[in-house]
Amino acid sequence: MKLEKMPAEFVAALPILETIEAAGYEAYFVGGSVRDTLLGKPIHDVDIATSAYPEEVKALFDRTVDTGIEHGTVMILDHGQGYETTTFRTESTYTDFRRPDEVTFVRSLEEDLKRRDFTVNAFALTKDGEIIDMFDGLSDMDNHILRAVGEAEERFHEDALRMMRAVRFAAQLDFKIEEKTLQAIKDNAHLLANIAIERTNVEFTKLLQGKAARYGLLEMIATTLNKYMPGLETVDIDLIGYADLLADQQPTNDEEAWTLLVFELGLTPEDAGLFLKKWKHSNDMVKTIKASIKLLNKLRLGDVEAWDLYETGAAIDNALRVATLSELVVDVPKLESRYADLKIKTKNELAFNGGDLTKGMGLKPGPLFGKILATLERKVVAGDLANNHAVLQAEAQKMVEKETNK
């Protein structure tokens, strides 16, 4: 099959294929960008596969970076773009279900395509726009089917992450997982325990944002993959509840996806922190999610106070997006405007500070100090006091007098 029109990203990279071919080697566009072109979707990174060995590739271009030289990957820098160029390779014996013991560079495109995970990920595109389809990926593409290349069972034994990739691509592409591929996931789900949590996390996070996230998640549960994921081993009911929320809406970023998950699991902010740490999420992400969950758990019980919104701080947008996604019955626009109307958003915005207590009022730092500032902060947030220096100083004065008269 020949492409009618090459996307601009490929056109821009054609000189690279031409340079490699002029030197007597083969070179093709491969991987997700070819798949996405066939689906009429925008493409992100352009990946190239070649029969040239890494040193041979490097000799042909002025500017290259060894981004993964041990796996045969060299990044070629051209007109401000980077192109990952990987030597055709095969992967021999996998003793640990995750990494090949050895990668061997080969000169055959077919060998390279055979080691790829799914038929729709195993196309090669020539510089003339011809699609090379060795595993009937084009018919799977037409039928919206995700099928492992070769023997599914064997392929998941080689690399158990591929099972997560299956449910992820099914969710993203809205493809059904082919029967034998699905059965092989059921039979081998336990091998997921061998995979580093960071890698599982990447696939799971993408799954949750797929347009068919509900289907992907339900297959993940049906194949028992979640039994080998931290904190998700025994929560099928909650996960099914989550899947139902995803029927006609998806989270639009990683934070939303994970906040919604934590909320569906019914975790406290503290337990959410422990759960997210097991998944190796960043501290920033944990912080946002904990703050969001604190507010959401309160909203689930009823109305919240200005102070709760204030404490949520910068996580407010995320929290309110998740309130909508989780179908919580709350007035989101009203909460948004209540947050916007807060007299201060952080402590730093208070029109009175520690310096005003010492220099201004001659008070010595001590327990009373913190108590006064905390009280002023709460009263300003609640709207009981104006955020005005004179007003706050008068209030502080009253507190000092009360304490000294005790």
Q: Give the Cα separation of 186 and 224 in Å (integer).
A: 7
Residue ranges of the annotated binding site for Mg(2+) are: 45, 47
Asked whether 227 and 189 are in contact (CB, 8 A), the reply is yes
49 lines the binding site for ligand ATP (CB under 6 A): no
Residue 383 CB partners (closer than 8 Å, separation 6+): 306, 343
Closer of 171 and 262 to Mg ion (Cβ) = 171
Among the residue ranges 25-33, 208-216, 220-228, 272-280, the one whose residues contact Mg ion (CB under 5 A): 25-33
162 lines the binding site for ligand ATP (CB under 6 A): yes
Report in angstroms the alpha-carbon separations of 189 from 70, 97, 198, 236: 29, 11, 17, 15
Among the residue ranges 28-36, 67-75, 120-128, 336-344, the one whose residues contact Mg ion (CB under 5 A): 28-36
Binding to ligand ATP in span 70-99, by CB under 6 A = none
At closest approach, how far in Å is the CB of 193 from ligand ATP? 16
32 lines the binding site for ligand ATP (CB under 6 A): yes
At closest approach, how far in Å is the CB of 27 from Mg ion? 18
| 231 contact choice in Mg ion, ligand ATP, none (CB below 5 to 8 Å, kind-dependent) | none
Residue from 27, 32, 163, 335 in contact with Mg ion (CB under 5 A): 32
Residue from 89, 116, 290, 294 in contact with ligand ATP (CB under 6 A): 116
Residue from 31, 54, 100, 210 in contact with ligand ATP (CB under 6 A): 31
Strand order in the sheet with 73-78: 64-68, 73-78, 81-87, 47-50, 27-30, 124-125, 131-132
Q: Give the Cα separation of 358 and 270 in Å (integer).
A: 36
Report in angstroms the alpha-carbon separations of 100 from 93, 95, 183: 6, 7, 23
Report in angstroms the alpha-carbon separations of 40 from 5, 6, 283: 11, 11, 37
Residue ranges of the annotated binding site for CTP are: 32, 35, 116, 159, 162, 165, 168
72 lines the binding site for Mg ion (CB under 5 A): no
| 166 contact choice in Mg ion, ligand ATP, none (CB below 5 to 8 Å, kind-dependent) | none
Q: Residue 131 — φ and ψ, nearest 5°? A: -90, 125
Rounded to 5°, the CA angle 399-400-403 comes to 85
Contacts with ligand ATP by CB under 6 A: the residue count is 10
Q: Are strands 131-132 and 102-105 parallel, antiparallel or unpaired?
A: unpaired
161 lines the binding site for ligand ATP (CB under 6 A): yes
Matching residue, tokens 């294929």: 17
Q: Give the Cα separation of 115 and 112 in Å (integer).
A: 6
Per-residue binding letters, 120-159, with ligand ATP (x by CB under 6 A): -xx------------------------------------x
Interacting residues with ligand ATP (CB under 6 A)? 31-32, 47, 116-117, 121-122, 159, 161-162
Interacting residues with Mg ion (CB under 5 A)? 32
